[in-house]
Structure 1
Amino acid sequence: MIMKRILVFRHDKIGDFVLLWPALSLLKNAMPDTSIEVFVTPVLKSFALACPYVDHVIVDSGDDQAIRKEIDARQYDAALVSNSQFRIYKIIRNLNIPYVLAPKHNWYQYFYKNRTDAQYKVGEGCWRGGCMLIEAFLTAHNMTIPALPKRYWDVTAEREHWQQYYGKQNDEKLIFVHPGTGGSSGSLPTKDFIKLITQVDQSTQHKCRFVLTFSGEEANLAGAIFDEVSKQGVNITLAKPLKDLTDFAKSIVAADMFMAGSTGPLHIAGLHNVPTVGFYAGRKSQPKVRWQTLSEQHKRLAFTPPESKRTGRDMSLVDIDYTAKSIAEFLNTYYTK
């Protein structure tokens, strides 16, 4: 069966969509002549269009009747429900889509004829769930499952441009720091980010320029950190505003390291295979494994408070001295020729 169009549902947060990119890469590389299309939230429209594995975007307007008509008009050969909700089932249930595949979770899974296990295993990142869905789809249609790339978004040709944009001088290392958080884990307290940046700067053998990134509502937080760190004589700058999420996402290719809580920006850095430093809650569910970035394993550093019900969510208990030493050692080793 020749498929002209396939629709993938992933209409939630930025980080969740980023972690679908490995699955989308499998689908596009296995079916290069098929139009791979995604259903996403409005904030993700331009970013989804920039994804090299996506050919068309349908935006979740909230008007289910209009969405249903739009999906019906595009005459999809298959729909893959990565973000499974009863609402999505109701939108597509009577549409003429020959093959629909949904994951085996939630009670309404039984309304779908085709279901598959898309639950990532212990010790795997949650990005594996999307891949399992696509792998099941490809296997059901007797198609070879491609290898995953090391870098999911190759915009290295723009790296020098964005390094200049962020003011890099000579052999400086650009260390991006995103102190806000929009993820499931909290981030470090402001005083700890100040201490961390200062100690890393003092401990590394490399000249660093720290770049504070932030969204609109995080401007005061970033400004407070900038003011205090600047007093320590650290080379630090506030990121200049960019026109949209897509430009910001591209600009992260300039980074030599990206530090943040479990947020969308941290996962975007993983698309570029940039070394990432993540701060996660200390829980038995191992969020530092579950929410790991897409950077290669040796480029991922993760830190948590002591694991327990009492301490696991208290990010102020992260050992900043140990964290700063580990980051500095990584920079000294990884970037020393």
Structure 2
Amino acid sequence: MDRILIIRVDKLGDFCHSLPAFSLLKRSLPDSQIDVIVAPIMEPFAKAMPFIDNVLVYRKEDDNLVETLRERDYQAAIVMHSHKRMAQIVKEAGIPYRLGQRRKWFQYLYTHRAPINRSACLKPEWRYCTDHIEYFLCKNHIPPADIHDRVWQSPDDRGQWQQFYGQAEGERLVFIHPGSGGSEGSLSTQQFAEIADSLVRHTEQRVKFVVTFGPGEESLAQEVVDKIAGLGHTAVKAPPLAAVEEFIRSLAAADMMIAGSTGPLHAASLHNAITVGFYPHKTRDDKIRWQTLSEDVRRLSFSPPQGKETGTQLKLIDAQLVGRKAAQVLHKQFS
């Protein structure tokens, strides 16, 4: 197949986990045109990926998308996550090979359905994404290339971003993102402050905390800064950046990111930063599926006790324990 379209129109974290799959497809079909449809906010970052040839943008109000896809004459469309509207669009565009996943009522819109059960949470999300691509390749008798989880080289301007965030010599930059970004909750501002305090007390590293925020979260970030500073530690609110793509690049400066399972946590893992994530634990183990792309030794995850009543109560996570564990990893990686 010469022209293949991949659809991934959801959030930052989901897109980060799709990058190994995009890379796998391009390396398996190096002479094919691999185009991707993304959400508007992800367009600049998607364009920076060397294994994506063209980037299209999905907007709900765009009535011309079907015609655009029809004109581009794609031979195959791969819908990476269950999305009813995009399933309808690729069918209306007349794309002959349409691959989605089973388990949704609108799966009849696809010509092929991959047997992927993400809700089982038995493997990382990025592996479910590569499974999807491997299914496509094998069904079309195309040998898959090797699977790589680290597919994006961190920019060479790490020093520039360290300067941007005001890093002093001998200092470690520990980022905190207290917002939930639409994911399943986050810790309280007091918990983040206690984690920061515990981390500093259990490490010999000099630490500066940088608190990041998304739209509508600036006051939340300021509250975390004030609480950490009130405990006698160095903390600043992150300077604003114009675009998500710029923010992702700037995370090259992060030695550690502490956050719920949000886009910034997963974006920091693209740079192999130490990630400290918090996940609900009701009837499935989200910390397996949504583990970050950082190396195993640079990844920590915490959940409340499993159960319908306790599993969503992130306030039950022991902030002192998190800080101690984070300090241990920081020491191992930088001492």
For Structure 1 versus Structure 2, the TM-score category normalised by the shorter chain is over 0.9
Kindly indicate whether residue 34 of structure 2 is the aligned counterpart of residue 25 of structure 1: no
Residues 22 and 277 from structure 1, CA distance in 2 versus in 1: closer, same or farther, beyond 3 angstroms? same
Kindly report the root-mean-square deviation, in angstroms, between the aligned alpha carbons of the 2 structures: 1.7
Q: Give how far 1:85 is off.
A: 2.9
Identify which of 51, 65, 75 aligns with 2:73: 75
SS of the residue corresponding to residue 257 of structure 2 reads strand
The 5 Å alignment of 1:100-139 reads: 100-120=98-118, 122-139=121-138
8 Å Cα contact 1:118/1:130 also seen in 2: no
User: What's 1:239 paired with?
Assistant: 238
Residue 13 of structure 2 aligns to which amino acid in structure 1? Answer: G
Match of 2:206 in 1: 207
1:21-61 CA deviation, whole Å, 9 max, x = no partner? 11111111212232221112222221221233222111112
Look up the match of 1:61.
59
Partners of 1:221 and 1:129 in 2: how far apart? 34
Check 1:39–1:223 CA distance in 2 against 1; reply closer, same or farther (3 A cut). same
Change in 2 beyond 3 A, CA 1:86/1:281: closer
Partner of 1:92: 90
- Matching residue's letter, 1:249: I
Provide the aligned length of Structure 1 versus Structure 2: 334
Using the alignment, how far apart are the partners of 1:192 and 1:320 within structure 2?
A: 6
Which segment drifts farther, 65-74 or 145-154?
145-154
Alpha carbons of structure 1 residues 84 and 316: separation in structure 2 relative to 1, 3 Å: closer
Per-residue Cα deviation, 1:206-229 (whole angstroms, up to 9, x for no partner): 111111111231110111111221
Distance of 1:131 and 1:149 partners within structure 2 = 9
Give distance in 1, aligned partners of 2:269 and 2:147: 14
* Partner of residue 295, structure 1: 294
User: Taking every aligned residue pair, what percent have the same amino acid on both sides?
Assistant: 39
Contact 1:64–1:91, Cα closer than 8 Å, also in 2: no
The residue that corresponds to 2:14 in the other structure is 16
Contact 1:211 1:237 in 2 (8 A): yes
Structure 1 segment 311-330 matched on structure 2, within 5 A: 311-330=310-329
**Which residue does 1:159 correspond to in 2?**
158
Indicate conservation of the 8 Å contact 2:27/2:145, yes or no.
yes
SS at match of 1:19: helix
User: How does the TM-score come out when normalised to structure 1?
Assistant: 0.93
TM-score by length of 2: 0.94
**In structure 2, the residue corresponding to 1:93 is in which secondary structure?**
helix
Shift of 1:64: 5.5
User: What stretches of structure 2 of length at least 5 have no aligned partner?
Assistant: none
Contact 1:280 1:287 in 2 (8 A): yes
Counting only pairs closer than 5 Å after superposition, residues 187-226 of structure 1 correspond to structure 2 as 187-226=186-225
Counterpart for residue 39 of structure 1:
37
8 Å contact 2:303–2:314 — kept in the other structure?
yes
Query: What displacement does 1:154 show?
Result: 0.6
- When residues 145 and 65 of structure 1 are mapped into structure 2, their CA distance, relative to the original with a 3 A threshold, is same
